[in-house]
């Protein structure tokens, strides 16, 4: 019998599969399709201080082996998340959930995290300093080691739960960003968020997406994600959550060999709403195929 359990910052997960923020709503939507308690956990929709309608439409552009999105952190705001979304989730999910938080200032990150810290359902914070689809927040913090450190220190002062920094691949040196987060007290890092992409309509000769550019995700970015996870995992001592183009149990094993303690599944959920469940179910077969008895023992196994 294979062992799929992993430990993520003091909390044992039944398996390393974590549907990524922005691809799994607040969970209860997917609970209408299958029992989401089969997952390790999931990262809920990026939450900000105030409600956000998001970017203008069209927001999605199809690509070969992927897609570009520019949703723009549409969410009901932290107060409604606490009052309405988390109680709905509690009815269908009995595990700790990961809170994905975005902000447009240090003060906003602090306020949102401080409020969510009081919620027993929250097991970890995933602080998003890497969203490419909003102006003046997210990515502007994630491209500077100094800014990442500042956000990390500020959030750590007001929360009691582990803080994971979600990093952007749209930088020249992701290792320096990860080390800045670690040095500032981050408990973990997750990477990668989407790459910047763009499509142009040949008939109109205008960008397909109203926001012109957006986040490119899907199978095509998997090799980039594996490379960055490998680089970061070999440079820091804190856990890494690997993501980016993961769509199969084989991809999960590869990410973990690169150094990931847990693995996020993003765009695959948008293509197939059962993707994360199917990966969980297929993990034991793939482990047996490659003579892996315990997933926790293969983390960082590629040297």
The whole-angstrom separation of Cα 65 and Cα 180 is: 33
Spatial CB neighbours of 155, under 8 Å, sequence gap ≥ 6: 101, 109, 110, 113, 125, 127, 163
131 is catalytic: yes
Structure tokens at 202: 């040949």
The whole-angstrom separation of Cα 155 and Cα 85 is: 22
Q: What is the pLDDT of residues 203-258, one digit of tens each?
A: 999 999 998 999 999 999 999 999 999 999 999 999 999 999 999 999 999 999 99
The whole-angstrom separation of Cα 272 and Cα 27 is: 15
User: Structural domain boundaries of the chain?
Assistant: 6-297
Task: Report whether CATH 3.40.50.2000 matches the domain 6-297.
Answer: no
Q: In tens digits, what is the pLDDT along the chain, a chain of 303 residues?
A: 899 999 999 999 999 999 999 999 999 999 999 999 999 999 999 999 999 887 888 888 989 889 998 887 889 999 999 999 999 999 999 999 999 999 888 899 999 999 999 999 999 999 998 754 444 444 567 788 998 999 999 999 999 999 999 999 989 999 999 999 999 999 999 999 999 999 999 999 999 999 899 999 999 999 999 999 999 999 999 999 999 999 999 999 999 999 999 999 999 999 999 999 999 999 999 999 999 999 999 999 998
Number of CB atoms found within 10 A of residue 147's CB = 16
From 38, 113, 131, 302, active-site residue: 131
Looking at residue 140, its pLDDT comes to 63
Quote the distance between the C-alpha of residue 264 and its chain's center: 6
Closest to 233 (Cα-Cα) out of 248, 255, 264, 210: 255
Looking at residue 58, its pLDDT comes to 87
């Amino acid at each position: 019998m294979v062992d799929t359990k992993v430990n993520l910052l003091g909390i044992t997960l039944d398996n390393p599969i974590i549907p990524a923020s922005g691809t799994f709503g607040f969970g209860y939507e997917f609970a209408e399709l299958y029992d989401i308690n089969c997952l390790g956990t999931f990262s809920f929709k990026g939450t900000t201080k105030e409600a956000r309608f998001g970017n203008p439409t069209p927001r999605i552009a199809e690509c070969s082996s992927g897609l570009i999105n520019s949703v723009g952190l549409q969410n009901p705001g932290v107060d409604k998340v606490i009052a309405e979304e988390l109680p709905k989730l509690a009815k269908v999910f009995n595990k700790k959930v990961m809170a994905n938080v975005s902000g447009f200032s240090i003060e906003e990150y602090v306020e949102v995290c401080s409020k969510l810290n009081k919620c027993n359902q929250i097991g970890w914070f995933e602080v998003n300093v890497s969203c490419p689809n909003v102006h003046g927040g997210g990515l502007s913090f994630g491209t500077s080691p100094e800014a990442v450190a500042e956000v990390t220190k500020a959030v750590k002062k007001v929360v009691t739960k582990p803080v994971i920094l979600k990093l952007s691949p749209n930088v020249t040196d992701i290792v320096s960003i990860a080390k800045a987060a670690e040095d500032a007290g981050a408990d973990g890092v997750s990477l990668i968020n989407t790459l910047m992409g763009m499509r142009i309509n040949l008939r109109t000769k205008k960008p397909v997406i109203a926001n012109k550019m957006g986040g490119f995700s899907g199978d095509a970015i998997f090799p980039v994600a594996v490379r960055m996870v490998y680089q970061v995992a070999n440079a820091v001592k804190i856990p890494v959550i690997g993501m980016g183009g993961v769509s199969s149990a084989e991809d999960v094993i590869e990410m973990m060999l690169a150094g990931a303690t847990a693995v996020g599944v993003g765009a695959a959920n948008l293509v197939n709403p059962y993707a994360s469940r199917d990966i969980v179910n297929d993990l034991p077969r793939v482990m047996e195929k490659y003579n892996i008895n315990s997933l926790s023992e293969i983390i960082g196994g590629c040297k």
